[in-house]
Amino acid sequence: MFWLPPGGVDNGVWASAWAELADLDPSDVAPVLRLLADADVGGYVATLGGRASRAGRGVVHRLWVDSLRYHRAEDVLMSYLNRRRG
């Protein structure tokens, strides 16, 4: 069983295994989780501290996705980021 950090938020889509995909800006968390759910990809975001915070990166919003749908999750995330920055 893969451990996910407590206190995060998921998109309601079940996954049996998880893989880290990206660190998100706070404003991207809700839209990305919604888009992943629309694509039937499990998503989970947790706010991390630890080394990243001590290294000056501030708060980290890490995204985990269903490892069996990892490539689909990459496509969804890249499409979102391209539209957002375009």
**Per-residue model confidence as pLDDT tens digits over 41-81:** 999 999 987 555 555 667 889 999 999 999 999 999 999 99
Q: What is the C-alpha separation between 46 and 34, in angstroms, rounded?
A: 15
Confidence of residue 1 (pLDDT cuts 50, 70, 90): very low
E strand or H helix at 19:
strand 18-24
How open is the CA angle 68-22-37, to the nearest 5 degrees?
A: 55
**Domains of the chain with CATH codes:** 12-85 (3.30.70)
The mean pLDDT value for 4-29 works out to 94
Structural contact between residues 32 and 43, judged by C-beta atoms closer than 8 angstroms = yes
pLDDT for 51? 58
Burial of 23 (0-12, 13-18, 19+ CB in 10 A): middle
